[in-house]
Structure 1
Amino acid sequence: MSVISTDDWLYELKTSQKLKDRRDFEELQRTILCSRLLEHFNGGTPHEIQFELQQQGLFRAHEKINIKKLQDQKTWDIVQEEYYYLKKQWNGPNIPIYIFPITQEQTITNKNGVAYPDALFLFIGELEREELKALFAHEYNHVCRLHYLNKSLQEVTLLDSIILEGLAECAVEEIYGSKWLAPWLGDYTLQKMLAIWKDDFVPNIHVQGLHNHVEFLYGGKLPPLIGYCIGYEIVKTSIQKHTAQELLNESSKNILTGSVFPL
């Protein structure tokens, strides 16, 4: 598999919207886009798929989308080229890659992505070439790591989750440079991260299921994005005798053992 020609789907959607009342746009999005994704969502309905992808950044059905701008950026071509390169570098799996415009409600960044074991989704606005490549690399690194772990998303532990993010960020840094790292990775001192790790992460390190890791990754009662920062520091301090590519196929426990974060 490779990059799917979702630009064709998007033009089909725009053409269909011209023939329909605005009230029908949500249903058109489900029919033309989401119904083509059923195989990746374990029996989920187009409505459920639409909701899940919109939570990740998929444009809202009523929003105007500029397909030509994405084509002019060579979005599909750049991702296809980078997919072939990284697949060879990481001995990664064959997966379909779906690219859609990002919602106008996404005001923090102009990009987002989500990785599943058998598919990858990118939600894109106006991006520099290297920024797009780094985004794709982050998400494809997730896919490669999930294939190595060989666990369902319900079986993935909190330790797996934070190292998943740390590996992806370190891979981006290794290939494209620190310019394209997530800006929040420097928000906390190592001492603060070690204290939060001991008090909040260690007692929950074996908790399974990605849905149970949201608080730890994104914050709420815990500081914002603290899990991402801790995951990056775990891998960063473990990587000194390795490369991010070598650690991609190492157990989460061994990566943690090589870091400065005690269990």
Structure 2
Amino acid sequence: MGGEFVDIQGHCPMKLLHQLRRYGVLNPIGRIVAAFAAFLVFALVIAWVSDRQFDSDAADSAATTAWTAPAEPTPTRTFAPPPPGFPRMEFPPPMPEVPKGSPQPVPTRFGLTYNVPSNERWMATNDAVMGWSDNSGIVATYGAVSEYRRNYCAEVKGSALAHVGVTGRNAVDIDSAARDEVAKAERIFGGKTGRIPKVELRGPVPLDVSGRPAVRYTALVTDIPKDTSCDPDQAQFDIVATPGYASAEVMLLMVEHHRGLPNALPGNEVEAIIGSLRKTE
């Protein structure tokens, strides 16, 4: 075939265009061709946009399928308030002054008082608050906290070989409150990696506090995972529950102390603290 383009009927293209222009046919055909070209362009644009939208929808769908909703937060445990008309005490009574060498009374806002020795080894106070937490949140908090040999370990600021404190509960009997509290020992002495210690629970031991019933539970904790050099290998966690006179129906006395370390709190002092619990005069 030669170098000149020839249509399928064999006409020369330039000659055909001249004839169409002469008879006024080219203008309508041009308009038709232009309209067809515009329609073709419009169709191509619509197809391109649709493809892009499909790709976007597919990507969005894939992203939605792959997205995992965050876990629901662990509900914060709430405690029942005191019954209507139950006495309330916003702050504990002032700390009484005692002669040097005499036991230091620590009055609480629950209408009960405990004693700790009054010497340089103890920091007795009824306005301090402390607690423990782990990866799941707060484990336990206590007020009217006294500490034994505070800052004994330089690696952890505020470290102490023993703590004494109180907290309250409502709408629960003293035995249930004590058992629930002493069971926290596993989390309190657990490691940051999730390893748990061995816990041996003892009790209940019935007690009498100013003529009212009380109950004691003890957790003996061993094989404690160490996160710092301050952490002990073993500890003891005592809980005494008795009816409160104000602020809560049940008051819980907590005595926690490290065992097996130099200068650890002697067992007879633990018993003296627990035995000192009484109604505030």
Give the TM-score category using the shorter length.
under 0.3
Q: Which has the larger radius of gyration?
A: 2
Bigger strand share = 2
Using structure 2 for the length normalisation, give the TM-score: 0.26
Bigger helix share = 1
Using structure 1 for the length normalisation, give the TM-score: 0.27
